[in-house]
Amino acid sequence: MKYQVAIIGGGPAGYTAAETAGKAGLSVVLFEKQSLGGVCLNEGCIPTKTLLYSAKTYDGARHAAKYAVSVPEVSFDLPKIIARKQKVVRKLVLGVKGKLTAQGVTMVNGEATVIDKNHVKCGEEVYECDNLLLCAGSETFIPPIPGVDSVPYWTHRQALDNKELPASLVVIGGGVIGMEFASFFNSLGVQVTVIEMLDEILGGMDKELSALLRAEYAKRGIKFMLQTKVTSLANAEAEGGQPQVQVHYENAEGAGFVTAERLLMSVGRRPVTKGFGLENLNLEKTERGNIRVDGQMQTSLPGVYACGDLTGFSLLAHTAVREAEVAIHHIIGKEDTMSYRAIPGVVYTNPEIAGVGETEESLQKKGIAYRAVKLPMAYSGRFVAENEGVNGVCKLLLAEDDTLLGAHVLGNPASEIITLAGMAIELKLTAGEWKKIVFPHPTVCEIFKEAL
């Protein structure tokens, strides 16, 4: 029962580390207490995008007349949408399992506990390892709002599996998860209210583009309550046989409440630090209480690595994947260092919004001089051809020497083109150097070249 690498957590960080180590010829054991693929694959990134694509297809059919296409009757089947989501998840989980099996990874389904840096217990078995990777992921944070224990509410997990459409929905939290679910339910005709404590939705994204996205969804009927604090929750009298939840709040206009059939909690996630023996390692922490790691993802204890949400750098699957690669590369002696210079952030609403690198707000906070270049997405011929009557914006942030510092896009398909900007930022390209790259025509990504 001795392995060169033991990994706790089978999410993007864990399964990437396992596959990379297996490919390098190392003996690997991977522990996962729930489903292989972690939150991202089973109840996060993949299932939400599957639902959102169904909603986007429905939107497209409803507005097909803009493209001279007649669709007489448009409808959707929510149970079938949910069933398709489950089918997609099953297929991808099996794909991950197949890849790990091919690399000789030992997969153990169970709750693992770290005894020390070289020993992990799962069930009655004790596994010995030379290197230990902690990839425990994150969990939904439920704020201690008065009354929260007495009312029914959804987290993303329940929202993903719900087969009956509520008439109304209150979303507490206007971050990425909140906005994606608000977009999905709005497309299907639900009356949606989003309550956010900050002065704008999507904190961390470019504030100007976030405001434009909010304005677009406000036109579609979503009610936004910004700079609003939820003070308590209570059950309300049933309306039409359906129980209601009453959300009490305070803002600059005073106190009030909003009532809805369903309540979705999406105020954020936090790293999982309990339940797997982390305390037995006595690792050094950062000022914010996260596990301190170096550029190779190694903790203060040699041979122990932390990757993914547990580090607190970025609770994103693609960050976790890269961190896992860096950690395994260090174990096998391959030179590599983790860089957070160009981590893309994407919100899969319709339209999508994506950003990479610095924002205007982060540059102003750091006191870094920059210039912003903004261009309507209509400067891309492909965008105009595929987005009838829809506006969008591309914003590039350039340093005094014209090096690209940040890029932000509102408009489809922002998620697919943002990597081009991310590569330019990671490689520290100037506007002139980036412009020398030949972009295919007509493509939406040409907007970057137009803006330079």
User: What are the DSSP calls for 68-84, one per residue?
Assistant: T---S-----HHHHHHH
Range 136-154 burial, b when 16+ CB lie within 10 A, else e: bbbbbeeeebebbeebebb
The question of whether 441 is a catalytic residue gets the answer yes
Taking the CA of residue 75 as centre, how many other CA atoms within 13 Å lie in the half-sphere pointing to its CB?
4
Say which of 63, 318, 329, 441 is annotated catalytic: 441
**Assigned token pair, 10:** 């089978």
The β-bridge relationship of strands 168-172 and 345-347 is unpaired
**Cβ(307)–Cβ(324) below 8 Å:** yes
CA–CA separation, 227 vs 253, rounded Å? 10
CA–CA separation, 283 vs 290, rounded Å? 10
Backbone angles phi, psi at 226, to 5 degrees: -90, 160
Beta-bridged to residue 168, according to DSSP, are 191
**Assigned token pair, 427:** 């490689």
* Sheet strands (E) in 161-253: 168-172, 191-195, 223-225, 229-239, 242-251
**254-260: strand order across its sheet:** 229-239, 242-251, 254-260
CA–CA separation, 159 vs 85, rounded Å? 12
**Catalytic residue IDs:** 441
